[in-house]
């Protein structure tokens, strides 16, 4: 059986990059896979979070999943901290993961910065917890972006290390689920940087709850270069902003980049930006308003999470018991 596991951190400002790069593809996967979509709050606290904002962001990510079309009957949606076995399996994995493997993780180096001694143990162990997330459900396929590939490879290594150490074939080796259609959405202020929740500039990203006017304003102000749009895809070389905006248009309209470049060949940015604002508002408008409706009904959102926690918890409890038996913990 194939099972998808993926997650997003509840750290605010869900944006177009989260939608086109992740959530939209998850919606397509739910037909063919058994899917578990998590709101990874345990991961969020690897850096300081305001408690009220964390709770709010947890509901917001849940609302975004539902508003984007994830079916809460077919899929499991839950927040990580409600299933205690994530932390428990992470401990077991932490005991079989060599420090050398963690020392290679580039995201830790980036996030810890120069003051590495001040970084928390949780930030360091972040990829071990991520491996536990996936393997707790024996996930086989993990849709992740480029930036999480190294963590996923570590999850495979940990699964292999566990199986070898205990001479079992217990955990599957999870595979990255790569999409032809997943779009790496870049900042509207700098076409070489990923669109990010944490960018200081609101004009760098289109939030899923932005209304049509805000979307149009941000696209109008998006960085460009002095030339008109190119005649062919080759002409995008060295023009990251043009490539990003055309790529967003292609993703939003389900067209190929080639087709979109053809459509706007030689056009001025201003003309193209008007068209882009229209399609962005058409796609995001209904999602944003559904998110707002759900956010106004937190009892409903919480009920969805509770149902998800029950379903996830049942699988997690069964698997962790098996793991504890393999490890040799006495069940008196």
Binding site for ligand TRP (CB under 6 A): 5-7, 9, 40, 43, 130, 133-134, 142, 144, 148, 151
Closest contact distance (angstroms) between CB of 273 and ligand TRP is: 29
User: Shortest approach of ligand TRP to residue 125 CB, angstroms?
Assistant: 12
Distance of CA 254 to the CA centre of its chain: 20
CB of 100 to ligand TRP, least distance (A): 21
The DSSP code for 187 is: P
Q: In angstroms, rounded to a whole number, what is the distance separating the alpha carbons of residues 314 and 48?
A: 30
What sign results for the dihedral spanned by CA atoms 227, 231, 236, 240? positive
Closer residue to ligand TRP in complex, CB, 130/277 = 130
Tokens representing residue 107 in the block? 């995201």
> 171 and 162 in contact (C-beta within 8 Å)?
yes
Minimum distance from CB of 6 to ligand TRP (Å)? 4
Q: Which residue in the block uniquely carries the two structure tokens 């969805």?
A: 304
Which of 7, 17 has the CB closer to ligand TRP? 7
Minimum CB separation of residue 225 from ligand TRP in Å reads 30
- Give 92 or 134: the residue with its C-beta nearer to ligand TRP: 134
What residues contact residue 68 under an 8 Å CB cut-off, 6+ apart?
19, 23, 24, 26, 27, 287
Active site residues: 111, 194, 197
Nearer to ligand TRP (CB atom), residue 144 or residue 309:
144
Quickly tell me which residue has 């032809």 as its tokens: 180
**Phi and psi for 75 in degrees, rounded to 5?**
-110, 165
Residue 277 to residue 221: CA distance in whole angstroms: 11
What span, in angstroms and rounded, lies between the C-alpha atoms of 11 and 257? Answer: 31
Which sign, positive or negative, has the C-alpha torsion 321, 323, 326, 331?
A: negative
Nearer of residues 193 and 221 to ligand TRP, judged by Cβ: 193
By beta-carbon proximity to ligand TRP, the closer residue of 127 and 230 is 127
The CA dihedral of 282, 77, 80, 149, to the nearest 10 degrees, is: -60
- Least Cβ distance, residue 142 to ligand TRP (angstroms): 5
Give the chain's radius of gyration (CA, Å): 21
């Amino acid at each position: 059986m194939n099972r998808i596991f993926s997650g997003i951190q509840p750290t605010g400002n869900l944006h177009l990059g989260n939608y086109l790069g992740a959530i939209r593809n998850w919606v397509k996967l739910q037909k063919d896979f058994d899917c578990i979509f998590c709101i990874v709050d345990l991961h969020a606290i690897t850096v300081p979070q305001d408690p009220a904002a964390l709770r709010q962001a947890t509901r917001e990510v849940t609302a975004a999943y539902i508003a984007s079309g994830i079916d809460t009957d077919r899929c499991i949606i839950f927040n990580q901290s409600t299933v205690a076995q994530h932390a428990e399996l992470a401990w077991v994995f932490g005991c079989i993961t060599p420090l050398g493997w963690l020392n290679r993780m580039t995201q830790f180096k980036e996030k810890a910065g120069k003051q590495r001694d001040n970084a928390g143990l949780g930030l360091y162990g972040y990829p071990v917890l991520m491996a536990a997330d996936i393997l707790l459900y024996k996930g086989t396929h993990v849709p992740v972006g480029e930036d999480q590939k190294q963590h996923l490879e570590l999850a495979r290594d940990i699964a292999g290390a566990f199986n070898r150490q205990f001479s079992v074939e217990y955990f599957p080796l999870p595979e990255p689920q790569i999409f032809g259609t997943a779009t790496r959405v870049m900042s509207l202020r700098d076409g070489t940087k990923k669109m990010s929740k944490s960018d200081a500039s609101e004009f760098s990203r289109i939030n899923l709850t932005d209304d049509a006017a805000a979307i149009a304003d941000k696209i109008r102000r998006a960085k460009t270069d002095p030339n008109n749009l190119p005649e062919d895809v080759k002409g995008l070389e060295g023009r990251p902003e043009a490539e990003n905006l055309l790529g967003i248009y292609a993703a939003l309209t389900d067209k190929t980049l080639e087709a979109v470049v053809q459509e706007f060949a030689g056009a001025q940015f201003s003309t193209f930006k008007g068209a882009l604002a229209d399609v962005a508002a058409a796609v995001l408008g209904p999602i944003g308003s559904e998110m707002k409706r759900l956010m106004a009904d937190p009892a409903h959102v919480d009920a969805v999470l509770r149902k998800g926690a029950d379903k996830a918890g049942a699988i997690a409890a069964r698997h962790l018991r098996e793991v504890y038996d393999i490890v040799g913990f006495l069940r008196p």
